[in-house]
Chains A and B, each alone.
Chain A
Amino acid sequence: MEIAGVKITRRLLLMGVSIGAGSLAGAAVALPLVGFFLGPIYRKFPPVWRTVGPLDKFKIGATVQVDFLTSGGLPWDGPAQRVGAWLRRNNQDNFTVYSSKCTHLGCPVRWIPSAELFMCPCHGGVYFKDGDVAAGPPPQPLQQFPVRVENGQVEVQWRPEQVQYVELRSPCNGCGKAREEV
């Protein structure tokens, strides 16, 4: 027998059967393995409201750390489920909750009350009290979590922080500027 000009011998047929059967069996195992490994990447967690304390716990004008849990945790998550964020009470009913992750590379920013600045310990990023970039490499302001007051309790909505795609900036934007030094 010939297929496309190639004579199919018994030996060639056996080779084809062996390789074909092996490939099918391999794919039958490999596909579920890869799927299982990549599965968590596609898993999405719904936003969830978390109570962080009663209204009167927070002073107007003060920024304090609040802790809460993510949603959809696994039984063995342990501390990995915890989130630390910075809550600022702007006035009687208005709050802002800032993510603690520096928008540069995700290090934990800390609030310096006396200086009214958020500072990053890793690469020197600094933010103003409203989350805007004050200095250093961060490309964007601090992210915020939605916040509300329900039955006298302040609630923060945990949602996966957006993985920010940082728009590539022109490498020559700012070229030629004099180095700023005191």
Chain B
Amino acid sequence: MKALLQLVGWFEDRTGLIAKIKPLMEHPVPKESKWAYVFGSATLFSFILQIATGVILATMYVPSTDSAFQSLSHIQNAAFLGRLIRGLHYFGASAMFLFIGIHMLRVFLYAAYKYPREVNWLSGVALLILTLAMGFTGQLMRWDQDAVWSVNIAAKQAARLPLLGHWMSRFVYGGDHLSGITLTRFFDLHVFLIPGAMMALIGLHLYLVLYNGISEPPKAGAPVNPKTYKRQYKELLDKEGVPFWPDAAWRDALFGSLVIAACVALAATVGAPKLVPPADPSVLQANPRPDWYLMWYFAVLALSPHQLESYIMFLAPLVIFGSMLALPFLFNQGERSPKRRPWAIAWVVIVALGVLGLWREGVKAPWSPRFQSPPLPNSLPASASSGAMHGQVLFHDKGCEYCHMVNGLGGLRGPDLSNVGNRITKQDMVIRILNGGRNMPAFGGILQPDEVTDLVDYLTTRRLRPGPNLSQIR
């Protein structure tokens, strides 16, 4: 023990590190900053997990369009502990998304972006943007079918930008089309440039937390006044401040450790998502989908009104992130307590419900045709005509079933036709089939007249409940 103390003393004499770090660790923080404050450090723990697992994965991952998928497949299926490490990287990313979202909502609810912590908030918004960029570029590292088509989707979206669209699209590809450079550039972004920028911003963020102090839990009727705030905050710390380490930090350490433990458990049991077929732009039977944390955006792209989607693609990020960046300048003083800021609570509820709702729609993807729908089982009455039986076959073969559901089978793009016979007349069916609609092709040039008749005959048998059989009306 004596030898160890001597060694520490020798080290401290030459570096002075303990003398510098100890006051930082023991800086006073508000006594009431408890469990609501652990999500920022949980995000940091997740980021460190990503760096550690990413560095290890990079020892075996080959960032080449020729070999990336094979190397990842080797990591997943053959390398010692590879499946676990890849799973850790995946769940670490998921945890980071989850906790950065909760952390920002907490900061917003507590109005901790107000004076003097405006720059803390700005650096946090920048970190959120970079985290989203890490999620997107990370998905591309798999270089599977989802990845290669996601690049095309990103390039197409970039092309919608007025004036700069052409160059932005080329920037995404690293040229005028997909090539070997596309992946190496995204690798560079994912492994060097974005993490480097994040480390710098995290350093700034932590420095500002020390410089401005941890925001005290808000109290109704105690508004922020820039002229008096710093003095009041110092008085609060002098009166009832506690040292960050260990009085407050133990919660961060415990919660962060539980997050890491949960990631390890999930990686070991559930594992990372299965690898879909390797990237090959000549394989057209692909069904690209984003990872779960970007699924809400998939829904935005599908649900946007066609007239508005170009505006949404380039204006929505500007408006959303612009508003977030402007927030601390527009409202940098006044009440912090959510009790006195009902609109803040309403915003949090709207954002949370909006993202959850979009995410749910993205998972369901009712707008996507269901190519795997099997031919409909025969559910026709014995008295059904041969035309109706042929119509049932046509309903599948002509792709109607990809978008319309009948008795639980088929797609969700169009209305459920299980009881269409109750709802519309034969004449209306013919008009709709021949002319189509906004989301339905006109089959007038595709179906023969007798096929239309057979299809309508089949649809008229689709009646689930007693009632007027409108299909009999001609």
Residue-wise, chain A 60-74 has the 8 Å CB interface mask toward B (1 for contact) of 000001010010011
Check A80–B183 contact: CB distance below 8 A. yes
Contact of A134 with B by CB under 8 A: yes
Contact of A150 with B by CB under 8 A: no
Residue-wise, chain A 115-142 has the 8 Å CB interface mask toward B (1 for contact) of 1110101111010100000111101000
Question: B179 touches which one: A74, A134, A137, A139 (CB < 8 A)?
Answer: A74
Q: Which residues of B contact A139 (CB under 8 A)?
A: 306
Q: Which residues of A contact B285 (CB under 8 A)?
A: 108, 110
Residue of chain B at shortest CB distance from A173: B307
Check A40–B175 contact: CB distance below 8 A. yes
Check A76–B65 contact: CB distance below 8 A. yes
Within 8 A of B (CB), among A35-72: 37-38, 40-45, 65, 67, 70
Assuming the contacts A104-B156, A117-B446, A135-B438, asked whether A41 and B170 have C-beta atoms less than 8 A apart, the reply is yes
Assuming the contacts A78-B66, A182-B432, asked whether A107 and B177 have C-beta atoms less than 8 A apart, the reply is no
Assuming the contacts A128-B441, A160-B176, A173-B307, asked whether A110 and B284 have C-beta atoms less than 8 A apart, the reply is yes
Question: A74 touches which one: B162, B181, B286, B288 (CB < 8 A)?
Answer: B181
Question: A182 touches which one: B174, B181, B282, B417 (CB < 8 A)?
Answer: B417
Check A135–B437 contact: CB distance below 8 A. yes
Check B180–A78 contact: CB distance below 8 A. yes
Contact of B442 with A by CB under 8 A: yes
Nearest CB of B to A92, in Å? 23
Contact of A171 with B by CB under 8 A: yes
Q: Which residues of B contact A116 (CB under 8 A)?
A: 446
Q: Which of A2-10, A18-26, A161-169 contacts B (4 or more CB under 8 A)?
A: A161-169
Q: Which residues of A contact B149 (CB under 8 A)?
A: 106-108
Question: A168 touches which one: B162, B180, B183, B440 (CB < 8 A)?
Answer: B162
Nearest CB of B to A180, in Å? 4
Q: Which residues of B contact A166 (CB under 8 A)?
A: 159-160, 310
Contact of B67 with A by CB under 8 A: yes
Contact of B37 with A by CB under 8 A: no
Assuming the contacts A74-B179, A137-B306, asked whether A182 and B420 have C-beta atoms less than 8 A apart, the reply is yes
Within 8 A of A (CB), among B220-243: none
Contact of B45 with A by CB under 8 A: no
Contact of A81 with B by CB under 8 A: yes
Question: A81 touches which one: B165, B171, B179, B414 (CB < 8 A)?
Answer: B179
Check B286–A115 contact: CB distance below 8 A. no
Contact of B73 with A by CB under 8 A: no
Check B155–A106 contact: CB distance below 8 A. yes
Contact of A105 with B by CB under 8 A: yes
Contact of B94 with A by CB under 8 A: no
How many A residues, CB 8 Å from partner?
A: 65
Check B179–A73 contact: CB distance below 8 A. yes
Contact of B281 with A by CB under 8 A: yes
Check B424–A182 contact: CB distance below 8 A. yes
Contact of A101 with B by CB under 8 A: yes
Check A80–B281 contact: CB distance below 8 A. yes
Check B301–A105 contact: CB distance below 8 A. yes
Question: A163 touches which one: B165, B180, B286, B442 (CB < 8 A)?
Answer: B165
CA A65 – CA B286 in complex, angstroms?
14
CA A166 – CA B285 in complex, angstroms?
26
Q: Which residues of B contact A168 (CB under 8 A)?
A: 162, 310-311
Question: A160 touches which one: B152, B159, B177, B371 (CB < 8 A)?
Answer: B177
Q: Which residues of A contact B152 (CB under 8 A)?
A: 101, 105-107
Check A163–B65 contact: CB distance below 8 A. no
Contact of B27 with A by CB under 8 A: no
Within 8 A of A (CB), among B301-354: 301-302, 305-311
Q: Which residues of A contact B162 (CB under 8 A)?
A: 165, 168
CA A116 – CA B305 in complex, angstroms?
27
Check A180–B183 contact: CB distance below 8 A. no
Q: Which residues of B contact A73 (CB under 8 A)?
A: 179-180
Check B302–A163 contact: CB distance below 8 A. no
Within 8 A of A (CB), among B361-384: 367-369, 371
Nearest CB of A to B225, in Å? 39
Check A109–B284 contact: CB distance below 8 A. yes
Q: Which residues of B contact A135 (CB under 8 A)?
A: 436-441
Nearest CB of B to A33, in Å? 11
Contact of B148 with A by CB under 8 A: yes
Contact of B33 with A by CB under 8 A: no
Check A65–B284 contact: CB distance below 8 A. yes
Contact of B390 with A by CB under 8 A: no
CA A112 – CA B155 in complex, angstroms?
26
Question: A134 touches which one: B174, B178, B441 (CB < 8 A)?
Answer: B441
Question: A123 touches which one: B180, B302, B308, B399 (CB < 8 A)?
Answer: B302
Check B159–A164 contact: CB distance below 8 A. yes
The residues of B with any CB-CB pair to A shorter than 8 Å are: 64-67, 148-149, 152-153, 155-157, 159-160, 162, 165-167, 169-171, 174-183, 185, 278-288, 301-302, 305-311, 367-369, 371, 397-399, 402-403, 413-415, 417, 420, 423-424, 428, 432, 436-442, 445-446
User: What would 10 more interface pairs be, CB under 8 Å, given A80-B148, A122-B302?
Assistant: A79-B281, A84-B283, A106-B149, A108-B284, A110-B284, A114-B399, A122-B368, A126-B441, A139-B306, A160-B177
The residues of A with any CB-CB pair to B shorter than 8 Å are: 37-38, 40-45, 65, 67, 70, 73-84, 100-101, 104-110, 112, 114-117, 119, 121-124, 126, 128, 134-137, 139, 160-161, 163-166, 168-174, 180-182
